[in-house]
Amino acid sequence: MATNENLPPNVIKQLAKELKNLDETPPEGIKVIVNDDDFSTIFADIEGPAGTPYENGLFRMKLILSHDFPQCPPKGYFMTKIFHPNIATNGEICVNTLKKDWNPSLGLRHVLLVVRCLLIEPFPESALNEQAGKMLLENYEEYARHARLYTGIHALKPKTKSKTGAISESTTALNVDQVNTIPSGKVPLAPATLTAAAASKGSATNSQDQNACVALSSEPQKKEGAVAAKAQVDKKKMDARKKSLKRL
């Protein structure tokens, strides 16, 4: 059984500070379960975001920290069964924040918010659950039906009332006012589209929350932006060549 002895003293000190902060000011929809004797495995209960197929569900997840943390990212797993493109049947979570985009300066709050944002905006292009990924791309209604079925069977119900008809503040990791509803049968709103409303929230915690989902939702957009920029450059080169030929 892993204990705090597996982690360096300075890491334990930082984790204790982070866990205390998460306990005192938890992100909306996320409850961290603290075990003072073992910081190498962090458990958290995540409420399914309102307006998604995971609404009214409560999902237990865990982050496993190796002795190389924070130089190496933690490994994330859902312990509650869930039907989601980026969560494997064994619960493994696939998100760039826990892989190639990991940065030692990222805290537990950021990681947990990104995971909850993943329930709002899945990325079927990098699916661990191929069935869910294919279904999401080809037939959202069928995907949502499967996800709701899993939620109803496997996910515990939150004790407190969840807000319906709107994405709750921390599900977007933006602390957005409750005005953005998700129409039935539509792909959930990308958190990136909601950042403007969140800009008015000025606390340091809210700023961290915003960065978490903005980073997540912008992952596929980086490639699209690069392609668009290249296309514009190619067009300018072609126009220049045409002008040169006319002069000849």
Our count of domains for the chain comes to 1
Question: For the segment 222-241, what is each residue's pLDDT rounded down to a tens digit?
Answer: 444 444 444 555 555 556 55
Residue 32 lies in a domain: yes
Q: Fill in the DSSP letter of residue 159.
A: S
Token pair 């792909």: residue: 187
- The catalytically annotated residue of 72, 94, 117, 213 is 94
The mean pLDDT of 172-182, rounded to a whole number, is 35
pLDDT of residue 214: 58
Lowest mean pLDDT among 79-93, 200-214, 232-246: 200-214
Q: Higher pLDDT residue, 11 or 172?
A: 11
Is 117 considered catalytic here? no
Q: Which of 112-116, 219-223, 226-230 has the highest mean pLDDT?
A: 112-116
pLDDT over 60 (residue 182)? no
Q: Higher pLDDT residue, 113 or 214?
A: 113
Distance CA 67, CA 65 (A): 7
Residue 206 lies in a domain: no
Its sign, for the CA torsion 158, 161, 166, 170, is negative
For residues 217-233, b (16+ Cβ closer than 10 Å) or e, as one string? bebeeeeeeeeeeeeee
Distance CA 33, CA 23 (A): 8
23, 26, 5: which is closest to 205 by C-alpha?
Answer: 26
Residue 20 lies in a domain: yes
pLDDT of residue 174: 35
CATH of the domain at 84: 3.10.110.10
Polymer length in residues for the chain: 248
Distance CA 63, CA 39 (A): 10
pLDDT of residue 83: 97
Residue 114 lies in a domain: yes
Residues whose CB falls within 8 Å of the CB of residue 231, separated by 6 or more in sequence, listed in order: none
Residue 143 lies in a domain: yes
Residue 190 lies in a domain: no
Structure token digits, residue 68: 């190389």
Give, for 61, the enclosing helix (H) or strand (E). strand 58-64
Percent of the chain with pLDDT over 70: 61
Confidence band, pLDDT 50/70/90 cuts, at residue 218: low
pLDDT of residue 164: 43
Distance CA 71, CA 10 (A): 13
Residue 137 lies in a domain: yes
Q: Assign residue 56 a region: left if phi > 0, alpha if psi is -120 to 50, beta otherwise? A: left
* Residue 135 domain boundaries: 9-155
**pTM of this structure:** 0.67
Residue 236 lies in a domain: no
